[in-house]
């Protein structure tokens, strides 16, 4: 048996939705080519290929696959996999989540398990927990597509949110790496009730504005008062890029997950291109720039 899986890149947090909101992006992701084998074999090409572990005990693809078989109650089927990468490692676009989802999906396919969304999510979460922490905000949109709200990671409760606005997304990745675990260390350990209420107001507004097609209030929702102030110093030029992006017409500009990739949501392609030129001027020509739209379907298996 052989098949391939495309797992899209994702924006974790989507600004104010810390560990809660995630958004899948179209046209940018990793592709995994699987074939049944007598033993595991991992080959990697593309972006940051040299940094990806080939040991099955350390690679998110094989970790998630074996977790699925354990949960499913069946002996694991080894495979060879060729990972063709487009997502940056430690870049803030859900690279480890893409690998985790692909590994769990592949195991379900090899096992002919049928519909088993919760098992796939649980197996993917186990792998993600070892790489970046036990969070679903990248895994959920990678698997389901679109904008997702994580209601409860332990219960694997995910709520899809419709997007009723035309959105163009500018993704800019400066030539630096930030590990998720390191980015979490700079976060404030506590918030006052007033600070937490403000953050909840922004997150709720963001979800409602996108679901109702309310462009007028989207900028308020794209204001992060918790993680962004603490992490901005990790990305040189962040505040300047944010200022220019908003001046060029973006609804908002923030970091994707823990960064260093940053994103801007824009009302049309023309503005997105203008925003892209502006922020590329801040972060420099060695940065990666992509202009995409939301991906409304999740990881996809094809032969």
- Give the model confidence (pLDDT) of 19-48 as tens digits: 999 999 999 999 999 999 999 999 999 999
- Torsion sign over Cα 133, 138, 143, 149: positive
Domain 168-292 belongs in CATH node 1.20.1440.230: no
Average pLDDT value for the chain: 96
pLDDT(117) > 90: yes
Assign 302 a pLDDT band (cuts: 50, 70, 90). very high
**Looking at residue 223, what is its pLDDT?**
96
pLDDT(159) > 90: yes
Which run of H or E residues covers position 120?
A: helix 117-131
| CATH for the 2-161+295-302 domain, from 3.30.230.10, 1.10.10.10, 1.10.730.10, 3.40.50.10490 | 3.30.230.10
pLDDT mean over 7-30: 97
Assign 111 a pLDDT band (cuts: 50, 70, 90). very high
Radius of gyration of the chain from its Cα atoms, rounded to whole angstroms = 19
**pLDDT, tens digit, for every residue of 277-300?**
999 999 999 999 999 999 999 999
Residue ranges per domain, the chain? 2-161+295-302, 168-292
pLDDT(114) > 90: no
**Looking at residue 182, what is its pLDDT?**
83
**Looking at residue 36, what is its pLDDT?**
96
**Looking at residue 179, what is its pLDDT?**
83
pLDDT(245) > 90: yes
Q: How many CB atoms lie within 10 A of CB 208?
A: 14
Assign 125 a pLDDT band (cuts: 50, 70, 90). very high
pLDDT(133) > 90: no
Assign 265 a pLDDT band (cuts: 50, 70, 90). very high
pLDDT above 70 covers a percentage of the chain that reads: 100
**Looking at residue 92, what is its pLDDT?**
92
pLDDT(82) > 90: yes
Assign 132 a pLDDT band (cuts: 50, 70, 90). confident
| Residues linked to residue 148 through DSSP beta bridges, in sequence order | 22, 160
**pLDDT, tens digit, for every residue of 164-191?**
999 999 999 999 988 887 888 999 999 9
**Looking at residue 180, what is its pLDDT?**
81
pLDDT mean over 57-67: 97
Q: Which residue has the tokens 């698997």?
A: 143
Nearest to 135 by CA among 119, 160, 152: 152
Assign 115 a pLDDT band (cuts: 50, 70, 90). confident
Contact in structure between 167 and 291 (CB atoms under 8 Å): no
**pLDDT, tens digit, for every residue of 190-241?**
999 999 999 999 999 999 999 999 999 999 999 999 999 999 999 999 999 9
pLDDT above 90 covers a percentage of the chain that reads: 94
Please tell me the pTM assigned to this model. Answer: 0.95
Domains 2-161+295-302 and 168-292 share a fold: no
Question: How would DSSP label each residue in 2-67?
Answer: EEEEEEEEEEETTTT-TTTEEEEEEEEEEEEEEEE-SS-EEEEEETTGGGS--STTT-HHHHHHHH
């Amino acid at each position: 048996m052989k098949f391939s899986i495309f797992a899209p890149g994702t924006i974790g947090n989507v600004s104010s939705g810390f560990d809660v909101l995630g958004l899948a992006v179209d046209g940018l992701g990793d592709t995994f080519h699987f074939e049944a084998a007598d033993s595991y074999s991992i080959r990697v090409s593309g972006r940051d290929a040299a940094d990806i572990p080939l040991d099955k005990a350390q690679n998110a693809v094989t970790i998630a696959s074996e977790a699925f078989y354990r949960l499913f109650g069946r002996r694991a089927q080894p495979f060879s996999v060729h990972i063709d990468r487009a997502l940056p490692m430690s870049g803030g676009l859900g690279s480890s989540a893409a690998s985790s989802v692909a590994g769990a999906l592949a195991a379900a396919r090899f096992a002919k398990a049928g519909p088993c969304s919760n098992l796939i999510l649980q197996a993917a979460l186990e792998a993600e927990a070892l790489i970046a922490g036990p969070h679903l905000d990248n895994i959920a949109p990678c698997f389901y597509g679109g904008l997702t709200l994580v209601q409860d990671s332990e219960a694997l409760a995910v709520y899809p949110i419709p997007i009723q606005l035309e959105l163009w997304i500018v993704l800019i990745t400066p030539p630096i790496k930030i590990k998720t675990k390191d980015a979490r260390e700079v976060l404030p350990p506590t918030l006052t009730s007033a600070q937490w209420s403000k953050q909840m107001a922004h997150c709720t507004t963001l979800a409602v504005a996108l679901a109702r097609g309310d462009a007028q209030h989207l900028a308020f929702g794209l204001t992060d008062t918790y993680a962004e102030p603490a992490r901005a110093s990790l990305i040189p030029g962040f505040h300047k890029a944010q200022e220019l992006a908003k001046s060029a017409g973006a609804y908002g500009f923030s970091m994707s997950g823990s960064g260093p990739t940053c994103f801007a949501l824009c009302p049309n392609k023309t503005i997105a291109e203008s925003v892209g030129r502006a922020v590329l001027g801040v972060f420099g020509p060695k940065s990666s720039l992509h202009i995409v739209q939301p991906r409304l379907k999740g990881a996809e298996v094809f032969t």
